[in-house]
């Protein structure tokens, strides 16, 4: 009886492991390499290197932010744009409205200085979409002279005309909180 109980237990363990393996998905990347994932890949895992011009344009947009002139490259944006910001807010509007909003935010600062850690243009092969990904640090000074820094990661999508139409931003504090 004990032997049958142990055998039943071992069989049930194998069935649990088999169900875990069955729930793993396999997707192919742009080089035909299989990626085993215990999660469903909701957007894509099939990316190749993208157009370097998108990365160059994104760098210019970051420079426009630092310089405080967001309209300098207005032509880099599609007629409408969707933006998701690090604070949880978002907007979908004309690019003119979005840039006016961003300019008002930038006008609250006396300076902004960015450093770039990495930038990469990518293309989602299966979605036929172009993106540019950027990682950096931003040090802002407000009108009262208070400095604040943040590590920034942004993901920008460029439409078929090479214009920005979607943007995601993520931030982390640039330095640990001060101990009291």
> Quick one: pLDDT at residue 18?
41
> Quick one: pLDDT at residue 22?
45
Mean pLDDT split into 10-residue runs, the chain, 180 residues? 46 47 54 79 90 97 96 96 95 96 95 97 96 97 95 97 97 76
Instruction: Render 106-154 in DSSP notation, one character per residue.
Output: HTTEEEEEEEEEEEEEEEETTTTEEEEEEEEEEEEEETTS-EEEEEEEE
> Quick one: pLDDT at residue 32?
62
> Quick one: pLDDT at residue 3?
47
Q: How many helices (H) and strands (E) does the chain have?
A: 3, 9
The gap between the terminal CA atoms of the chain, to the nearest Å, is 64
């Amino acid at each position: 009886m004990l032997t049958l109980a142990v055998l039943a237990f071992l069989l049930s363990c194998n069935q649990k492991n088999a169900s875990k393996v069955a729930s793993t998905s396999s997707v192919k990347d742009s080089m035909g390499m299989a990626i085993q994932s215990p999660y469903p890949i909701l957007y894509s895992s099939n990316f190749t290197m993208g157009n370097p011009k998108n990365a160059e344009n994104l760098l210019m947009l970051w420079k426009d932010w630092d310089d405080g002139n967001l309209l300098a490259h207005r032509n880099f944006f599609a007629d409408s744009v969707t933006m998701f910001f690090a604070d949880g807010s978002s907007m979908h509007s004309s690019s003119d409205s979005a840039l006016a909003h961003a300019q008002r935010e930038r006008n609250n600062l006396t300076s902004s200085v960015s450093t770039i850690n990495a930038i990469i243009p990518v293309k989602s092969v299966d979605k036929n979409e172009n993106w540019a990904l950027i990682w950096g640090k931003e040090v802002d000074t407000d009108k009262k002279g208070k400095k604040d820094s943040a590590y920034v990661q942004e993901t920008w999508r460029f439409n078929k005309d090479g214009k920005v139409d979607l943007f995601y931003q993520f931030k982390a504090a640039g330095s640990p909180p001060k101990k009291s």
